[in-house]
């Protein structure tokens, strides 16, 4: 198997209202997911070779694999879409699609933020359904719980406390979300949408 590596090119800096200290702290957690995904991949492979797939230990490692693996993947989507100084007008086709489906771009954003304010740890993710062409927002518990099979992530919002604790402490999620909105890299969102709409797989790095 080829090992995953930490994608340093995705690490944002100089964000508007989100400190580099916050990003550095959060980035350290992402690096841990990469390490654990590689370690679990190797461990599961070794257990299969040893005929241990029916053991409790294998079942435990298998469950953990989904958590670590999707923790890595979602953070790559998340960090890749952070950049200050862009506007939603730079995602014209995405903006038009959400305006049509939600009534306005503001209504779409309000719905995504409502998901992001759920009283739980997790993620708010705007997905594209390639079968119906619909865009909808979902709250994802943990990393692996609640992702919709076959749907394509367009906008990924991390609402675990580690995403904002350095800058805003435990109760600072609303302030974090307000700052996050100012740092969405809308050309990346547009590229994800255009790829998904044309049936292509958008590479996260």
pTM above 0.85, yes or no: yes
Give me the residues paired with residue 195 across strands.
Answer: none
Domain ranges of the chain: 19-80, 88-197
Listing from the earlier edge strand, what are the strands of the sheet with 135-141?
135-141, 122-128, 152-158
Q: Does domain 88-197 fall into CATH 3.40.50.300?
A: no
Other C-beta atoms lying within 10 Å of the C-beta of residue 19: 14
CATH topology of domain 19-80: Helix Hairpins (1.10.287)
What is the rounded CA–CA span in Å between residue 118 and residue 116? 6
Q: What is the pLDDT of residues 37-59, one digit of tens each?
A: 999 999 999 999 999 999 999 99
| pLDDT for 1 beyond 80 | no
């Amino acid at each position: 198997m080829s090992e995953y590596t930490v994608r340093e090119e995705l690490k944002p800096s100089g964000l508007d209202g989100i400190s580099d200290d916050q990003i550095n702290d959060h980035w350290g957690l992402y690096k841990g997911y990469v390490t654990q995904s590689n370690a679990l991949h190797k461990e599961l492979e070794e257990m299969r070779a040893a005929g241990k797939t029916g053991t409790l230990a294998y079942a435990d490692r298998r469950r953990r694999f989904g958590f670590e693996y999707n923790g890595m993947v979602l953070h790559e989507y998340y960090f890749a879409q952070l950049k200050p100084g862009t506007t939603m007008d730079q995602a014209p086709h995405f903006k038009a699609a959400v305006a049509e489906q939600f009534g306005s771009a503001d209504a779409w954003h309000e719905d995504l933020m409502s998901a992001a304010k759920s009283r739980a740890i997790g993620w708010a993710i705007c997905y594209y359904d390639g079968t119906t062409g619909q865009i909808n927002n979902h709250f994802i518990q943990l990393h692996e719980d609640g992702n919709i099979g076959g749907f394509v992530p367009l906008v990924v919002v991390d609402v675990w406390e580690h995403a904002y604790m350095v800058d805003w402490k435990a109760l600072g999620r609303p302030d974090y979300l307000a700052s996050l909105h100012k740092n969405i890299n809308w050309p990346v969102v547009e590229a994800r949408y255009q790829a998904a709409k044309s049936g292509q797989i958008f590479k996260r790095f």
